Every structure is written in structure tokens, then in C-alpha cells.
Structure 1
Amino acid sequence: MQSTSNYLWLLKDILGQGATASVYKARRKQTGDHNAVKVFNHVSYLRPYEVQMREFDMLRKLNHKNIVKLLAVEEVGSTKQKVLVMEYCAGGSLLNVLEESENAFGLSESEFLIVLQSVVGGMNQLRENGVVHRDIKPGNIMRVVGEDGQSVYKLTDFGAARELEDDEQFMSLYGTEEYLHPDMYERAVLRKPQNKKYGVTVDLWSIGVTFYQTATGSLPFIPYGGPRKNKEMMHKITTEKPEGTIAGVQHRDCGPVEWSKELPITCRLSEGLKFLLVPILANILEADQAKCWGFDQFFAETNDILHRSVIHIFSLQQATVHKVYVHSYNTINVLMDAIFRQTGVPAVEQEFMYEGYYLELDLAQQVHLVPKTTEERPIILVSKEQKAPIGITYKEPDVPTFPPMFDLISDANLAKIVTCAVHQLLRITKSIMKCQDFILRGVYWMLAILKEECRKTLQRAATLNLKLDFCKSTMMRIQKIYGPHSRMNQSDGGDVHMKLQLTVHFLATISQNVQNSQKQLDQIAAQWSNTNDIHHKDSTIGKVEVLLEKVSAIHQQLKKDRMRMKLQYNDEQIHKFEKLNMGIHAKKVLALVREDCEQKYKKLLTCVKDWMRIACDIRKQLRSFGEQCESLHCDLENCEAYLNNMFHQIPLKLEGDQSTTKSTASTVYPDQKCMEMAIRMKQLKQEMEHVTKELQQNNMIIQSLSDGQKPQGV
């Protein structure tokens, strides 16, 4: 037990250890609250006094939520040994987080963004105070879990920090070799004499390496054998890398370096975030200090990412998940261009569904008016043109097999690799199952929408048929009144008659095609129902999770065995059995993913290709039918107006014809002709009243159907 006037700690409660100090978990005597104390060793006192005091002075003037807070400076007992009392970060360091098996391939996107925001916030505070840290690395970034359950990361260990403005330089060497700028690495690690000076951008190189490791789980530059074993090659990789590359790995001794300008496929970040992050990494992982970005540009580009909104998109035909990063003030036009960059679907072909309905978006509308999306509730993108399914892209992790020989250290290391691989396989399984959820959800919405459009098209065709029947009836009455050999029947009436006959044909064709489309949609619905039942009964995720628990338990046991270094005979036998069991569990996971999950997924992709091809064709047909119905509606309106006009002219024509007949006939048969004329006029009047009544009744029916109401008396 050690203590100061206000704090006490046990030497076994060590949190971290460096070249000049150790950090312990301590308690405040008055309250029992946890704190961290940094206790300096004898080596630290060999440094010049001003260097010893630098960290105290630095922490006193830094006050930010992303920098570990200095609470007090005290002394141990009567030794006068200085102790820094700081806030306790129960979540450990970022390095501890990355060393967890589930994060072997990098942090999730949401957690990575928190790290990005925290480091940018902390570094901004340092630059505002003219401070260069000189030892940025995951081990010096601490994690705290807030009251809302969200992580907060804080910069710590300012033992190497010093005040330095943007245009100033220094020559002293500090830092950890994997994160050192190549110029500092050459002098500090390779011990090569040089007269180079270093500026504040050395922190940017360290940040670049840290961000890459946080995103992928591994260092960006790795020579064969590792950075600590092949130092010359490490320096060669970092200084000779091609422009724009962000990673270089040497896979065999004296072999070529595999360069990369992209983050690996195993990385858990979305393509949308990668698109924004990679240029930042390329410009801060620049060995030439003259070409490297300055902090102003670094802050501008990183804050640009942090201030963007995320729109979750699922491309139905392609079966791909996307996260689109846009500013909330951007227009829908900008959003659609960003979607095009990720999906290849042109803006003119993009249609959207959300919660079962088509989402109508105005190109001038701002993005913040788009419905809120999440990973579980994305907007469904549907292309007007057929697109080939792509599906979730992933790389299956390598699962090593245990050698028969007994080796505690090797077994523990392999057990960790196997556990990391099973975590990744579980993530792949969940991604595939989520993709299937989105496919089935999107297809269900599409079927419902198309069925409703079919119903509306048939309803519209029925309304047009009523209007057509009225026009045909009116035409027949007019022809009957004019007589079969009149000009009405031979000229204009012939054109009207032909148009009405063509309309009859068009409406019959439309109705038949729509009914055929309904049958196709019903067939897809039946197939969808069977697939949906199978999908929801699938228990692959649960099975993999159970196996992962078993694998993780064995991993913990093998870690304990390694700590013991030597086992008794019985313990050794148990160790060997556990090693065999871990291999069996890992093979079961691989079989579940390959033979069950992947096979069902590929089958669904084949189905969705056929379903969406049919749906796309039906959608085009319905769109064409809508245009035809609109054209037919206009034609029938014109026809109806023409016939009504002709009908209203009948009494005038008849009156003129009858007066001529009367003057001629009255000279021969005056009484008889007058009697016949009176009877005929009376009959004509009755017929006109009857036609007018039918006209009014038909108009009422058409109006009521257009309004979607049931007409009275029908």
C-alpha cells in the first residue's frame, strides 16, 4: 500500500507502465472515489528539472472533455516523490479496446466516429494552446463510458509534450517507434545521424497510424517479421511508399511490399465513410513534412465528416447496404448524386420506398427533411431499370488449426486468432441475415404497391368503360335519329365510330394485361411467403453465438494456462482436450456459415433477381397503361363533347327539315301530313327527354366512381 495525504493505492492495481512512470488505480481517502495516480520512477528524475515539470505545467493549463483531467499534484509520504492525481478512466485505453477479440478487425463505424471526434477535439485543444503531444498512440487514448452508455475518449500521457507553434521545430526525440514519423524513426530507432528538425506535423503522422489501426485492427506498415524485428524494412516501407498509399505489408522475407490505397474489405467501416476518410489518411501519412497537411486542413476535413448526416440506404435489386454521408443543408439532388457514386444507379432511375410507401422527394428539398433512418430502418432504393444483385461483400477470415505439439504460448496465441475469426464469422452471418431481412421487407412493400397500382388501373379502366358505353349509346341514338344513310353516319360519325371501336380494344387489352400482372404478383407473393417462413425459422445466428461462447471460454482458459507457464499432467491433458474442442467448434461455425447461411442467401439472391425483373416489367407496363388511360380519357372527353354538341343540334335540324316537308306536302295532303308531323314531333320530344335523363344519370355514375364513392341507386 502506498499513499499521499489524500490518496492511497496498492502496487498490484497497476493500470499502465512506461519508461519514466507507472499508473495505478487509487482511492480518495475522504470519499472512496476511484482516481488514477501517476507515480514517477527514479529514471524520470535523471531528466532536467524543467523537463520533469513540463507535464505538470502542461496539464494545469489544459481543460477539455477529451483530455484526461489533472486533479492534484501530491507527494508520496516523506519521500517528496511527485504524484499526478488524474481522473480515472474505467474503460481502459483504446489499445485495450482494440486488443479485444471482437475488435480484431477494427471498431464498428459508430465507435470509430466517436474516436475520431474525441481525438480531433483533444488535438484541437492542444493546438489552441500551442502544444505538440509527440506520443499519440492507442495506448495514450483513454476510454470513459458516459451516463448515456456512449464512449468518450481522452488524450493522456503528456510526458513528451512541449509547447510548439505551427512554424516552430524541435530536435529532441520522443514517442513509440511504430507510431513515429519516419524522420524521427530514422534517428531514434536506426540510430542514423541526421540534422533534421521536426514540426508539429509529426503528431499528424502518429494520428494517421492510430486512425488506421482503429479502423482495421492492425498497423498500416508491417514488414515481414513485424516492425520491431525488421526495423530497416519498416523505415524503407514508410519512406518509399508510393504517393497516396495508406498501407504497405511485406508477406515474406525479402519479398515485395503489397501497397494499398484503400482500407481492407475486412474493415467494418462503410464505403461512404471510407470515401471521406481515405484522403485524410493519405495526406497525413506523408513522410515528406513539406507535403503533409497542416493541422488547419486536418481539422477542416475531419470536422466536415463529423458534421455530416448519415442516410441509411438499401439497394433492393443489388441487395447492398449503404451509408451516405451528406450535410443536412444539402439538397436531395446532392444526396442522389452521392447514392449514384456508391450504387451506380443514376439519379433519373432512382425511386425510394420507406415504411411501405413510395417516398416522393423534391430535388430542391433539403436533406434534413428526409425521414430519419437507422441501420435497422433504411430507405429502400429501387431502380427503374433492372440491376444485377451484388449482395454483401465480405472476406471470410482464416481459421488456423492447432498443431499437435504442446506449446502454451503458441496455443494461447492461436486461440486468440481463432476467437477473433469466429467473432468475424458471426458478424458476417448477422450481415447476411440483415440483408435478407431488407430484401424480404423491400419485396413485400413492392408487391403491395404494385397490387394497389394494378387495382387502381383496373378501376380507372372500368370508369373509362362507363364513359365509353355512354358515348356508344349516344352515338347509336344520334345515328337512329339521322338515319342510316345520313351525312352524320358517313363522315364525322364514321371517324367517331372507329375511335370508339379502338378504345374498346385498348381497354380490353389493358384490363387483360393488368389481370395477368396480378397473377404474376400473386405467384411472387406465394414464393415470398415460403421464403419468409424459412428465413424467420433460421437459427444460424443463435447457433454461432453459442459456439462463440464456447470458443471464448476455451480462449480464456488457454490464456490462464499461459500465465502459469507450466502445467501438471492432468491440467496438460485438459489443455489438449480444450484445444481439440476449440478446433471442432470453429469448424462447426465455418460449416454453418458456408453450408447453411451462405447457401440460403445465394438462393434468395437468385429469387430476388427474378422477382425484381418481373416487378420492374410490371412497373413499366403500369406506367405505360397510366399514360394510355390518360390519353383515352382525353379522347373520350372530346368524343363526348362532340356527340353532345351533335345531339343538341338535332331539334334545329329536324325543325328546318320538317318545315320544308310541310310546305311541299301540305299542297297535296295537308290534314294527313300535319297529323303525322305532330305525332313524330311528340315522339322525338319523348326520346330526347329520355336521352337527356340517361346522360345525366351516366354523368352522375362517372363522377361518383371518380370520387371513389358508391353511386346512389346502383
Structure 2
Amino acid sequence: MQSTVNYLWHTDDLLGQGATASVYKARNKKSGELVAVKVFNTASYLRPREVQVREFEVLRKLNHQNIVKLFAVEETGGSRQKVLVMEYCSSGSLLSVLESPENAFGLPEEEFLVVLRCVARVNTLSGSKDRLPPKVSPRHEAVPGQRTSSPLSAVAGMNHLRENGIVHRDIKPGNILRLLGEEGQSIYKLTDFGAARELDDDEKFVSVYGTEEYLHPDMYERAVLRKPQQKTFGVTVDLWSIGVTLYHAATGSLPFIPYGGPRRNKEMMYRITTEKPAGAIAGTQKQENGPLEWSYTLPVTCRLSLGLQSQLVPILANILEVEQAKCWGFDQFFAETSDILQRVVVHVFSLSQAVLHHVYIHAHNTIAIFLEAVYEQTRVAPQHQKFLFEGHFWVLEPNLSAQHIAHTTASSPLTLLSTASETPMGLAFKDPAQDIPKFFPKVDLQADYTTAKSVLGAGYQALWLARTLLAGQELMLRGLHWETLQATCRRTLEVTRMALLFLSSSLGTERFSSVAGMTEMQELKKVTELRSRLRALAEALSRCSHSITESQTSLSNLRSELLKNRDQVHADRSVQQIQYCLDKMNLIYKQFKKSRMRPGLGYNEEQIHKLDKVNFSRLAKRLLLQLFQETCVQKYQTSLVTHGRWMREVHETRNHLRMVSCSVAAYNTEAQGAQEGLSQILDRVSHQLLQDRTKEAQVSPPLTAPYPSPALTDLVLQMQELCEEMKLLAFDLQDNNRVIEGLSWPPSAPDS
């Protein structure tokens, strides 16, 4: 046991150890409160006096929620070693989070954003005390006339170290501690200010600190390769370390990896970082003495959405620059990271692609900007974008604020519909079973632990993918269930049958027979032609009605298939089975983790260890091959093929409805022409009748009121009645045509 006046700890409770100090978990003697104590060793006192006290002075100046708090500076009783009493973070560090097999391929998106928020808050470290708010770049367009909130007010405390003129000089995941808040949320705090010092923007330093994988190449050259050089370093060296840290958090691996690893091939490590092309964010050497391969995007195994990746990659590309003239300053880094953190996420499921997108947008932007962002990710042009939300069409007016967009989640996104017919590609992913190591036959505790950790990491990646693939199938089925065009078919059929009913009532044969019996009428031929046109129109509408009925039947069958498949997806238990295997594998992995710290195993323990390796391999094979590849992936690929067939069927039905709309519009024009022809005939017959009656009155004035011939009077009345009905028909067809145009794709109003 060791102690100071107020605190007590045991040397077994070691939290971390460095070249000049060790950190232990300790307790307050009076309250029992847990704290962390940093105890400096003999080597630390060999440093200059100003270096020894620098960490105390820096911590005393800082007071921020994302910086580990300094409670006191005390001394041990016997050796009188200096002890820093600090806030205790019970959940390890960002490095321990990343070393967990669950995060072997990087953090989930929500957790990464927490890291970005916490790191960005405290790591804008250039030391400018009076900084103007950064300008908003063109890609962050705001609503004209609307105030844009400053990043300074959006992220409290982000420039705390900067305002105090502090440069950390040893930023890495191991120096970012994790604490769980009252509601279970992660809080990350920067610690270890042993290398920190005060430095303004225009100041330089020559001393070298830091961890080699995260060092700026200029510092790496002197500190690791021991090459003499006269370079001085500014505050931007921390930006390089932040870039490597963020890449590590996003992917689970370091960005620059020579063959054999960074610590075994230091010359190649330096070469990768200094020869990196502009815009590249990673470089690897996969073969000994092989070529360097550059990457300008995050790997496909990354769990971050493409929407977030598109925001993050330009930041990484511009802070992972060796030449200080090309590297961003902290103002730009501050502006861009703050811009990401101020955005809201709109979840959009593209039904034609069968892919869920995360669209990052400012709430004060217009919907037009949102539609353009959707286009960038889906390649569906804004004029062809229509959205469903919870089964209803969601109309988005381009001039409105993005605040009018529905609140979405990954399980309840906007469903994007497109007029284009394309083969759904689905989610692009890498099989986690690729390139995983196998156990050596002999017992090697360290190698067995490393192998188990890699395989378990692949298993957790398979679990994440299985959940994602299953959720994708659910969204495909749900979106198609909403988009089966049943309501459109029903309404189109109603207006078509209405038009047919009007035509049928206007084609009374007795009226045309009366006209045909009046052989003295010169208009008989035209009336006969009109009758033929109206009959043809009625037959065409009847065919349309029959065709739409067939479409309704086909869509009803499709809906039945969709419901059946949704039941199958809901009954799928592959994710639970994968989780079961992982729980069993995790128990073995934890035992391997303990065993690796021992010098060796007894005979019985070694036999148990061998059996554990066999069981671990069996569970891994079942998980990665049977459950994931042969079940999850096969079902997903089958669902994509089926989804493509269904999408083609819906696309054909949509085009058919569009053709019906055009046909009804043409029939409406025909009806209007027929009505005009009837009106002209009626006018001529009425005029002729009036002339005949006038002549009869002049030649032989009747003693009583004149009466026209019954046949002629009946003809006129029938023609007038027919004309009035045709006028009503034309009016109704015009109205129906407007309804049809509203029904034709894409729809312009919410459906019921």
C-alpha cells in the first residue's frame, strides 16, 4: 500500500504506466471516493525543473468537462514523490475501447460522433486568444436572410485549450479516457499533459514528445529515426495526431502500415507518411519490399455511413498533410468539425437501390439543399425523387426549411421512390471471414490470444452485418408494401369506369335510330360516324378498365407475397444464433487473455487450453460459415433478386398507369370533338326547322298555333338531350383527366 496525506492506493491497482510515471486507482481516506493518482518515478526528476512542474501548471489552468480534472498535488510519505490526484475514469480509454474485439473494425457511428465531439471540443490547440468565428465554406449553404449560428456557440468549450494557448503534443487514443455519464452515455476526456506546454500560433518548439505511430513525420524523423535535422515544430503537429486518432477510431486500425508493422519497419513507416500523395488518407505496404498502396476513402469495413464519411474524409485529407503550408490550420479544422456536429441526420432508404443512407443536413438549410444531398448519395435527380414516410407520401417543398422533414430513425426512414428502373445492388460489404488467422497446432499463449482476438473481431463484424442485412430486408419489404400502387389503381379504375358509364348512357340506340329514320336529314352520315367514334371510345375505356383490374389482381398477389416474406424475416433467428456463438467464444477469449500473462501452463491446464482452441474454432466456423455466409448472406442475396423482380413489376405497373392516363386524356379530347360535332348538327337542324316553319307560316297562315311534324320535333329533342349529355360527359372527362394526371407517376399529392 502507498499513500499521501489524503489518499491511499495499492500498487496492484495499476491503470497505466509510462516512462516517467505510473497511474493507480486510489481512494480518498475520508470519503472513500475513487480517484486516479499519477506517481512520478526517479527518471522524472532527472528532467529540468521547468519540465517537471509544467504538467502541474497546465492542469491548474484548465477547467473543462472534456479534460480530466486535477484535484490536488501531494507527496508520498516515505520517498516524497510528487503525486497528481486526478479524476478517475472508470471505463478505460479510447484505446481500450478500440482494442475490444467488438470494435475491431471501428466504432459505431453514434459512438464515433461522441468521440469527435469530445476531442474537437478540447483539441483546437493553436493558442490564438482572440479568434474570429471561421467563415462558412460554400458547401455549407444557409437559407438566404437567415442567421447562421456560429460554431463557437454550437459546441461549448471546444476551444478551451486554444484559449489557454496549450499544445498537447501527445494526442492518441490511450490519452483519451472514457467515463460513463448518469444516463449511460460515453464522455471522453483528454489526459496526460506531461508533454503539454503553452504555445502561441507563431511560436515554435524543438523538443520531441509523443507516441511514434501518432507523431508528425518531422518529429518522427528526429525522435524515432534519430536523424539530425534543424526543423522546428508548431502547434499544427497536434492536428496530425488528431487525424491519426480519428482514422483509428473510424476504422479500428492505423492509417499508415508498412509491411511487418510500424514498429518493425520504421524507415518504411517514415517513407509512407512523407511520400503520401495529396488527398490520400491512408497508405499500406502489403508485401515485403512491395509497392505502396494509397487510399483516398475509408475502407468498406468501416461502420460509418457514407454520409458521414463524405463529411469526414476531406477533414482527414487536409490535416494529414506533412507540409505545414498545405495543412489546415486549427481555425479551418474547428469550422469543419463543428459543421459536422451541428448537422442533423435524415435517414433515407432508397427503394430502388435497397440501401439505407444517412444524409447530414443543417436544420436551417432549405429542402432543396437536402434533395441535392440525396442526389449526391443516391444519384436520383431531385425532380425524380418522391418520398414515403410511414406509408404515406411525404411532400417536400424545395423552398421550405429542412426542419419540415419528418423525424427519422434507422428503423423508420424516409423511403425514396424513383422513376428509374434499376437492379438493386444492396449493401456493399466485405466478408469478415476473409483473411482471418488460424490457430497454430502447438500451444503459444500469446499467439493463441492474438488469433482468438482477430477471429472474435470478425465474429462481431459478422453480427453487425447480419443485423444490417436483416434490417435492409425489412425495409425493402415494408417500402414495397407501401408502394404497390393499389390506391392508384383503384382511383384510376374509378374514373375510367365513370367515363365509361357516361359514354354508355350517351349511346342510346333508339336516338340514333330516330335520326336514321329521317331520310330527309343530310346529317345522317355524320351522325352515323359520330356513333361509331363514341362506340370505339367506350370499347377502349372498357379495355382500360379490364386491364387495370388485372393490374389490381397482380398487385394483390404481390402484397400477399410481401406479407409472407415479412413474416419470414420476422421469424429469422440467425442474429440470435450468432450472438449465442459470440458469447461462447468470448468466454474462451477472456480465458486466453488471462493465460497470456502467465509464464506457462500445467499439464491439465494445457489440455483444457487445447480443447478451448478446438471449441473456439468450431464456434467460429459455425458463426462465420454456416450462420453468416450460408444463412444471412444467402437470404439477403435471394431477397435482393426477389426485390429486383418485384421492383420491375411495380415499375411496369406504374408505366401502364401512365399510359392509361394518357389514353383517357386522348379519349377526353375525342369526346370533346364529338360534342362539338353534335352541337353543330343540332344548330343546323334547328336552323332548318325554323326556316321551314317560317315559310309555312308565310304561305298558309294557320288558324291555330303551328305544330312541327312529330318526327322532326322528336329528332330535335333527342339531339338536344344528346348534346347536353355530351357536354356533361366532356366536363366530367376533363375533370377525370385532371385526376388521372394527378395519379400518373410521379404523384403530386399525399396518398391515403
Is TM > 0.5 for Structure 1 vs Structure 2?
yes
Q: Which amino acid aligns with 1:127?
A: R
CA contact (8 A) 2:307 2:359 kept: yes
CA-CA distance at 1:681 after TM superposition: 10
Match of 2:611 in 1: 577
Residue number in structure 2 paired with 1:111: 111
Alpha carbons of 1:12 and 1:385: their partners in 2 closer, same or farther (altered >3 Å)?
Answer: same
**How many residue pairs were aligned?**
698
Superposed, 1:346-365 pairs within 5 Å as 346-365=381-400
2:464 and 2:446 mapped to 1: Cα distance? 28
Q: 1:59: Cα distance to partner?
A: 1.3
Tell me the residue number matched to 1:138: 173
Counterpart of 2:317 in 1: which secondary structure?
Answer: helix
Q: Which residue of 1 aligns with 2:73?
A: 73
Q: Measure the CA separation in 1 of the matches of 2:397 and 2:639.
A: 33
Give the drift of 1:138.
Answer: 0.2
1:503 correspondence with 2:540? no
In the alignment, what sits opposite 1:515? 549
1:129 shift after superposition? 1.5
Per the alignment, residue 338 of structure 1 pairs with 373
Pick from 340, 349, 370 the counterpart of residue 314 of structure 1: 349
Q: 2:449 aligns with which of 412, 427, 448?
A: 412
The AA in structure 2 aligned to 1:584 is: R
RMSD: 3.1
2:468 to 416, 431, 442: 431
CA–CA distance in structure 2, aligned partners of residues 367 and 438 of structure 1: 23
Which amino acid is the alignment partner of residue 435 of structure 1? Answer: G
Distance in structure 2 (CA, Å) of the matches to 1:473 and 1:675 = 32
Q: Could you tell me the percent identity over the aligned residues?
A: 49
- For 1:536 and 1:78, the matched residues in 2 are separated by 66
Structure 1 counterpart of 2:632: 597
Deviates more, 1:354-363 or 1:525-534: 525-534
Q: Deviations over 1:446-499 (max 9, x none)?
A: 12xx111111011001221233234434993796499355244445x4664454
Q: Are 2:260 and 1:260 aligned?
A: no
Give the partner amino acid of 2:475: F
The answer on whether the counterparts of 2:671 and 2:726 sit within 8 Å (CA) in structure 1 is: no
SS at match of 2:483: helix
Q: What secondary structure, in the 3-state scheme, does the structure 1 residue paired with 2:594 have?
A: helix
Larger displacement relative to structure 2 (628-637 or 263-272): 628-637
1:545 pairs, out of 579, 597, 613, with: 579
Structural mapping, 1:19-98, within 5 Å: 19-77=19-77, 79-98=79-98
Q: CA deviation at 1:26?
A: 2.0
Once residues 679 and 656 of structure 1 are traced to their aligned partners in structure 2, the CA distance between those partners, rounded to angstroms, is 14
Where does residue 228 of structure 2 map in the other structure? 193
Give me the whole-angstrom Cα distance separating, in 2, the residues matched to 1:462 and 1:151. 62
Listed one character per residue, the Cα deviations across residues 143-200 of structure 1 (whole Å, up to 9, x for unaligned) are 1122232211111111100111111100011111111111111111111111110001
The CA distance in 1 between the partners of 2:644 and 2:318, in whole Å, is 41
CA distance in 2, matches of 1:368, 1:475: 63
Q: Which amino acid aligns with 1:562?
A: R
| Paired amino acid for 1:518 | Q
Give the structure 2 partner of residue 711 of structure 1: none
Going from structure 1 to structure 2, the CA distance change for 1:55 and 1:647 (only over 3 Å counts) comes to same
Q: 1:686 to 1:228 in 2, by over 3 A?
A: closer
- Who is 2:15 aligned against? 15
What is the correspondence of 1:130-529 to structure 2 with a 5 Å cutoff? Answer: 130-397=165-432, 398=434, 399-447=436-484, 450-473=485-508, 476=511, 480=515, 483=518, 485-491=520-526, 493=527, 496-497=530-531, 499-529=533-563
Cα deviation code 1:310-347 (max 9, x no counterpart)? 11111112211211122222223222222222222222
Structure 2 residue matching 1:570: 3-state secondary structure: helix
Residues 1:143 and 1:656: Cα distance change in structure 2 (over 3 Å): same
Relative to structure 1, the CA distance from residue 48 to residue 457 in structure 2 (aligned partners, 3 Å threshold; closer, same or farther) is same
The secondary structure found in structure 2 opposite 1:563 is: coil
For 1:681 and 1:581, the matched residues in 2 are separated by: 103
**C-alpha contact (below 8 Å) 1:478/1:647 kept by paired residues:** no
Classify 1:690/1:490 alpha carbon distance in 2 versus 1 (closer, same or farther; 3 Å). Answer: closer
Length-normalised TM-score, structure 1: 0.91
Match of 1:121 in 2: 121
User: Distance in 2 between the 1:346 and 1:220 partners?
Assistant: 35
Structure 2 letter corresponding to 1:523: N
Instruction: Name the aligned partner's letter for residue 204 of structure 2.
Output: Q
Name which of structure 1's ranges 282-291 and 160-169 shifts more when overlaid on structure 2. 282-291
Match of 1:4 in 2: 4
Bigger mean CA deviation after superposition, 157-166 or 269-278: 269-278
Structure 1 residue 391 displacement after superposition: 1.0
| Partners of 1:466 and 1:702 within 8 A in 2 | no
| Gap runs ≥5 in structure 1 | 709-714
Shift of the alpha carbon at 1:608? 1.1
Structure 2 Cα separation of the partners of residues 433 and 545 of structure 1: 14
Q: Could you tell me which amino acid in structure 1 is paired with residue 105 of structure 2?
A: F
- Structure 2 counterpart SS, 1:464: helix
* 2:139 aligned residue: none
2:707 alignment partner, SS class: helix
Taking the aligned partners of 2:645 and 2:536, their CA distance within structure 1 comes to 34
Q: How has the CA–CA distance of structure 1 residues 495 and 575 changed in structure 2, closer, same or farther, with 3 Å as cutoff? A: same
Distance 1:519 1:681, change over 3 A: closer
Contact 1:21 1:40 in 2 (8 A): yes
5+ residue gaps, structure 2, are 124-158, 740-752
* 2:596 pairs with 1:566: no
The CA distance in 2 between the partners of 1:78 and 1:411, in whole Å, is 43
The residue type equivalent to 2:31 in the other structure is T
Distance change >3 Å, CA 689–CA 289, structure 1 → 2: closer
Give the aligned residue type for 2:84. L
**Superimposed CA distance per residue, residues 636-685 of structure 1 (whole angstroms, 9 cap, x where no aligned partner):** 46755775797699777645533434555x58xx78xx699388499859
Please give the secondary structure, in 1, of the residue aligned with 2:334: helix
**Matches of 1:323 and 1:484, distance apart in 2:** 76
Deviation by residue 1:94-120 (Cα, 9 ceiling, x = unmatched): 001001110011001111111111111
Distance 1:475 1:156 in 2: 98
8 A Cα contact 1:482 1:488, kept in partner: no
Q: Check whether the contact 2:258–2:286 (CA below 8 A) recurs between aligned residues.
A: yes
Distance 1:577 1:362 in 2: 64
Higher helix share: 1
Q: Distance in 2 between matches of 1:580 and 1:366?
A: 59
CA contact (8 A) 2:507 2:535 kept: no
Partners of 2:468 and 2:385 lie apart in 1 by 24
Quick one: distance in 2 between partners of 1:306 and 1:560?
40
2-structure distance, mates of 1:634, 1:3: 98
- Residues 678 and 719 of structure 2 are in contact (CA less than 8 Å); yes or no, is this contact kept in structure 1? no
Question: What letter corresponds to residue 437 of structure 2 in structure 1?
Answer: P
Contact 1:460 1:629 in 2 (8 A): no
Q: Distance in 2 between matches of 1:227 and 1:682?
A: 107
Q: Is the 8 A contact 1:14 1:22 kept in 2?
A: yes
Aligned to 2:153: none
Structure 2 residue identity aligned to 1:106: G
Given that 2:516 and 2:524 are in contact with CA atoms closer than 8 Å, whether structure 1 keeps it comes out as: no
Residue-by-residue CA offset, 1:375-411 (whole Å, 9 max, x unaligned): 1111111220101111111111233322211211111
Closer, same or farther: CA 494–303 of 1 in aligned 2, 3 Å: farther
Paired with 1:575 and 1:72, the residues of 2 have a C-alpha distance of 46
Report deviation, 1:363: 2.1
